[in-house]
Amino acid sequence: MLVRPSEMTGRPDGLDSETLSEPTFRGILLTGLPGFLREGFLPVGAFYVGLQLSGLAAGIAASTALSFLIYLYERRAGRDGLLVRISLGFVLVQAAIGLLAHSATVYLAQPVLINAAWGVAFLVSTAIGRPLAGALACAWYPFPHWFRQTAPFKRVFGIQSLVWGSYFLARSAIRLIALLQGSLESFLAIVFLTGTPVMFLLIVWSIRHAMRNLDDADVEPPAELTPSGRGATLGVEHTFDTLPNPGDANADRTPAGDLEVPHGLRRRARVPAHGS
């Protein structure tokens, strides 16, 4: 692929270059698929079981509790904090509205409408040149920050954002019709049929599409990278953590003012505007 560990001159997004492995279809799929299955199956299943056993409140409570456990698991596993918090926040709002309305239809309609909003967000993100599919793909593979700014990255995930946005809008329309005109059981069947099987196929397509097209892209890392993997700004002072020279007699001394960096020295360097 275009980005190989040997080509990295900095530490992309806090990762040493040696830890950024060559992406494989199996590796990417196994990274994101378990979380997709957890979030797609468990809360809805818990709601249905609780609803059948003890009523609407029990169903909402079971779904909310399980979503909170998933949140704790995802945070403990180091998943993207912002996305996980947004998901948990939506679950809590959905539960509150469902309980206040005391309606299973109102409770179940909320994620349908949110999916439609996601569809619009995917389409708008493509129009403004910041494809949402690319941002979400970083949870499956740690693309370096500089690479996310390249034209091939935006083109590939722009196409995927259009596909995913169209899917979410179509899925929301089908589910809303089923919810308003059918039974709870038929709605849950529609949720499954328009959800997991179709999304799995789209995920497989997305991974293969990205790997095939990004592998053919001809881009190089910037000449200068800061330790975060971002391109260094010319004429601006940057801070670097560097290891001391083992041959230096003072290598084992902790310099004043650098106690927060016990295994390296912190130095400042100015990247000249003319590269000299």
Reported as a single tens digit per residue, the pLDDT across 62-72 is 888 888 888 88
Delimit the domains of the chain by residue range.
22-215, 222-276
The answer to whether residues 226 and 232 touch, using CB atoms and an 8 Å cutoff, is: yes
Reported as a single tens digit per residue, the pLDDT across 87-121 is 777 888 888 988 898 888 899 898 899 899 999 99
Crossing angle of helices 25-54 and 196-215, rounded to 10°: 160
pLDDT at 252: 52
Vertex 148: Cα angle to 147 and 150 (nearest 5): 65
Rounded average pLDDT over 1-10 = 42
Measured CA to CA, the distance from residue 91 to residue 152 in angstroms comes to 35
What is the share, in percent, of the chain residues with pLDDT greater than 70?
Answer: 64
Beta bridge partners of 231: 225
Q: Is 219 helix (H, G, I), strand (E, B) or coil?
A: coil
pLDDT at 235: 44
Beta bridge partners of 237: 270
More confident residue, 85 or 52: 52
Measured CA to CA, the distance from residue 16 to residue 227 in angstroms comes to 9
Note the residue count of the chain. 276
Q: What is the pTM of this model?
A: 0.64
Reported as a single tens digit per residue, the pLDDT across 166-220 is 999 999 999 999 999 988 889 989 988 998 889 889 999 999 999 888 887 677 7
Structure tokens at 252: 């084992």
Q: Which long-range contacts (CB under 8 A, 24 or more apart) does 121-127 make?
A: 121/165, 122/161, 122/162, 122/164, 122/165, 122/168, 123/161, 123/162, 123/165, 123/166, 125/161, 126/158, 126/161, 126/162, 126/165
Average pLDDT, the chain: 74
Reported confidence tier of residue 47, pLDDT bands at 50, 70, 90: confident
Among 207, 210, 216, 213, residue whose Cα is nearest residue 27: 207
